[in-house]
Structure 1
Amino acid sequence: MEVTVVSHPLVDHKLTLLRKKDTEQPVFRRLVEELVTLLAYEATRGVRVGSVDIETPVTSTTGVKLSQPAPLVVPILRAGLGMLDGMLRLVPTAEVGFLGMIRDEETLQPMTYAERLPHDLSGRQCYVLDPMLATGGSLGGAVQFLVDRGADDITAICLLAAPEGIEKLRDLLAGLHVPCNLVVAAVDERLNEVGYIVPGLGDAGDRLYGLAQ
């Protein structure tokens, strides 16, 4: 698995504002969208394209267009939804699937509680959106789900990652033999005793949408 940490002053600036505990919810949402668009620029560097003949106002030429089937964007519910608009701003012709992952409190393994995806993902490039790669449970479960459906090229876009989550994802992918890339704004220090990324930015879902109690 290739891990790309996007180094850019605007990425660092927006991430700093996201980390601040007093950043208000509407501002937090907007910053997530903007940051994801910057990350998506790097994440789609390997998007599949084909040649196309076109007419400019001056002459004929050959350009490129996105190949079919279209890229599939898969936000992990619920926090991944906050990243969707930022991704679609860059790739508006992408198709969108949804995947809900939750941890089974008895087995501690990720399980799928909701999905809206094609049954056959053969030949599809998939872009998974999950703000935080902490323990790696939900993202690892999502990757396994997509591979089981036939996906053969997966890129995960996260705002932050912890070293523990990256290693868990590496271990999972070692047995899957499917190309997978991880694009993040930063790799933080560690996880704390309750599984939060340090220094992190808190619970991304709550900061995007509130506690929903």
Structure 2
Amino acid sequence: MTSTESRSMPTDMVTVVTHPLVRHKLTHLRARTTSTAGFRRLVRELSLLLAYEATRDLKLEPVTIETPQETMEGEELSGKKLCFVSILRAGNGILDGMLDLIPSARVGHIGLFRDPETLEAVEYYIKLPDDIGDRICIAVDPMLATGHSAVAAIDRLKNAGCNSIIFVCLLAVPQGIACLQKAHPDVRIITCSIDRELDDHGYICPGLGDAGDRLFGTK
């Protein structure tokens, strides 16, 4: 394992974040006994840690500042600005934590639902910043399961002119990763875990259940 500040394990375009805090919080997130309030809190905390990894390669430029003691050369972000894109509805749980870290980021929303028969993604809403083509986009959705929703969302981002995209999720499975990489090999994937498989209904196993239902207290 490559030793980095966040103790992440990179594999080509897929990064599994293995920091001890991430592993601890993910274990409690998976537990069926975790309350709705606890689930929301854990997703928000994990999202902040994932945002840290997703923004690792942002460019910096020198800036001169005055400290209480003296003048010094510091660094600040330069170049392209960020846009977080939530894949509704469950993506909003991750969005909140990322905005805690970078409150100045623009936000887009893509509404998709999974057809229960075909498991294909169907769009019902989309709203993106006009200048999204000038921004680094971080698309967020708790689960990368079949991969159809992620592919559909990224299709729409690219159609809107975005060519710098990172996909961030809490859990993924090999099938979903393969689907996304086949359609969009240029998109980096960041996740907390690559789980074993999908069940017959398209849910991740061992997983954490339906992320949207657990976030919002619905069934």
Asked if these proteins are the same fold (TM beyond 0.5), I'd say yes
Q: Pairwise mapping of residues 76-155 of structure 1 onto structure 2 (< 5 A)?
A: 76-103=87-114, 109-155=120-166
Which amino acid is the alignment partner of residue 66 of structure 1?
A: L
Matched, 1:182 2:189: yes
Which of 78-87 and 198-207 deviates more?
78-87
SS of corresponding position for 1:14: helix
Judge which range, 66-75 or 161-170, deviates more. Answer: 66-75
Counterpart-to-counterpart distance in 2, 1:7 and 1:105: 33
What is the alpha-carbon distance in structure 1 between the residues aligned to residue 98 and residue 205 of structure 2?
A: 26
Q: Write the letter of the residue equivalent to 1:203.
A: D
| 2:168 paired residue among 157, 177, 180 | 157
Helix, strand or coil: the match of 2:133? Answer: coil
Q: Which amino acid aligns with 2:169?
A: C
Give the aligned partner of residue 28 of structure 2: 17
* Bigger Cα displacement from structure 2, 187-196 vs 121-130: 121-130
Structure-1 separation of matches of 2:117 and 2:90: 23
Kept in 1, the 8 Å contact 2:81–2:134? The answer is no
How many Å apart are 1:120 and its aligned residue? Answer: 4.3
> C-alpha distance in 2, partners of 1:183/1:99?
19
Q: Partner letter of residue 77 of structure 1?
A: L
Query: 1:146-170 CA deviation, whole Å, 9 max, x = no partner?
Result: 1111112111110000110000001
- The range that moved more, 44-53 or 15-24, is 44-53
Corresponding residue for 1:204?
211
- Identify if the C-alpha distance between structure 1 residues 7 and 106 changes in structure 2 by more than 3 Å, giving closer, same or farther: closer
Distance 1:196 1:128, change over 3 A: same
Q: Partners of 2:84 and 2:61 in 1: how far apart? A: 20
Distance 1:24 1:107 in 2: 31
Report the secondary structure of 1:186's partner residue. strand
Q: Distance in 1 between matches of 2:117 and 2:23?
A: 39
Distance 1:148 1:197 in 2: 29
CA distance in 1 between partners of 2:200 and 2:119 (Å): 16
Cα 1:8–1:194 change in 2 (3 A) is same
Change (3 A) 1:92 1:127: same
- SS of structure 2 residue aligned to 1:50: strand
The alignment yields a C-alpha RMSD, in angstroms, of 1.9
Stretches of structure 1 lacking an aligned partner (at least 5 in a row): none
Partner amino acid, structure 1, of 2:189: L
Note the residue ranges of structure 2 that are not aligned, 5 or more in a row: 1-11
Cα distance in 2 for partners of 1:153, 1:190 equals: 29
Aligned to 2:41: 30
Q: How many residues align?
A: 208
Runs (4+) of structure 1 exceeding 6 A deviation are: none
Q: What TM-score do you get using the length of structure 1 for normalisation? A: 0.90
SS of match in other structure, 1:41: helix
Go from structure 1 to structure 2 and tell me whether the alpha carbon gap of 1:131 and 1:108 turns closer, same or farther (over 3 Å shift). closer
Partner of 2:3: none
Q: Which amino acid aligns with 1:20?
A: A
Q: Using the aligned pairs only, state the percent identity.
A: 50
Separation of aligned partners in 2, 1:202 and 1:157: 18
TM-score (norm 2): 0.88
**Offset of residue 28 of structure 1:** 0.5
